[in-house]
Structure 1
Amino acid sequence: MEASKGLAALLLVAGVTMALMDSAGAYVFYAGGRDGWVLHPSENYGDWAERNRFQVADTIVFKYKKGEDSVLVVSKQDYDACDVNKPIQKLDGGDSVFKFDRSGPFYFISGAPGNCQQGQKLVVVVMAVRHCPPISSPPSLPPSPPPTSKPPASSPSPAPVSHGPAPPPFPEPRPPTPAPSAAPVPGSPPPTSSGAGISPAPTPIEPPSSSSSSSSSSSSYASNWSLGKTLLLMVLGASFFA
């Protein structure tokens, strides 16, 4: 039983001293922390406001007893002078709730006579709204151009054509033909074999030259002339002696 009461007290203190988040995502702050909207809080209102961060749409709650105190929203001049005669807005229903509808400073003072002069006053500075750029889909890229056909590879230039007659093809090597065997010349030595299956070429017989022929003819003619002359002398001598 005692543990349940202690847990409930801790939850109550945590709800008073800490900022809570409502269903809309905004925070709810309790002015002065656990002490509430009182004359002499344990923590100065200025220090409490400096360690918190307020944004547009957040809410601040002033806890006090109805009829004993009130909350006045005033200008900076009235805040500095603690003037309670012309407030911008007056909250006196007890546990008053104020919602921040803009950024900038807000000035609060107590409506009880003399409390503002004793330090029951609060300045809340609401942070400016930061507009985040909407998340947009990435820009669509332009369609890629169709692939262009590559130019044909340059073929090597043909060799210059000669207009002259084409050279004859190289003759294929032919096997050596055996030389015809010549009739053996009388008085010449028999041929000897210089290789397997190949007879040596016969020695050519040179024909007699024209000078030899003429000399031979002259010799024959001289011989015949001498012979004829001898025969004639013999005939003449025989007829003389007869």
Structure 2
Amino acid sequence: MSLLLVSLYAGMVVYSFSELRGGIPAGISFENWRFLFERNLVIDNYHYPSIWSILLNTLLIAVGSMVVEVSISLFSGYALSKGNFPGKDFLIQSTLYTRALPAVTTLIASFYILKTMGLLDTYVGIILIKGLAEVGMSTWIIKGFFDELPKDIDWAASVDGSSKWRTFFRIYVPAIWPGIAAISLFAFLNGWGEYVMVSVLTFNDAKVTFPIILSTLMDTESTSTVSYGTIMAIATFYMLPALILYFFSQKYISKMKI
């Protein structure tokens, strides 16, 4: 399976740097990458914002939802692991309940809430909905890292005169850094590849993201008019940030506990 996926990705890169004749690479060409230097992304008769605007839109949603998800998961995971309060066992079990239902089932409620709050068709609205939707799984993962740390840390820190906040940020956070890196990677990738929420909760073409663009380019009446070389180049460009982030984070993923 891994070999098949690598072959598909390799084929995508080859097509992006090829001159296609009848759908078959016939030579090396950089024509498919001209969109990097154009003010607007123009493919056949379709006009879109520049590729750099699309990149910025996608990054804003990915990074923003990652910050929301990781921040909430970090504190909630700590509370569920080290805290002692009524209903703790129920909350621990309920962290995964949100995964029982597909995220698409919450779209109607999300649409209504954002419209009521005046956040419909805004980056803030998408970031909040996307970030909050994934908090349950990330909380469960990060809780596993907190569970590995001895409970005597709080007592030892209090003897030294350290406050709760200082103990959390100076001792706990560095100790579970591999877990933070792991959930940050997954949160970023979830936001980076989000299609459904962006397509439903935004209407302004200026906020278009890579998944929307790639889907639109393939949604044509005739496949004979599709510029596959350009699509492969855009897909390769879209894939690069995720690959780079994964490359630098893979050592932390291997330490992840669920």
* TM-score scaled by length of structure 1: 0.18
Asked which structure has the greater RCO (Cα within 8 Å, sep 6+), the reply is 2
More helix by share: 2
* TM-score scaled by length of structure 2: 0.17
Larger of the two Rg values belongs to structure:
1
More strand by share: 1
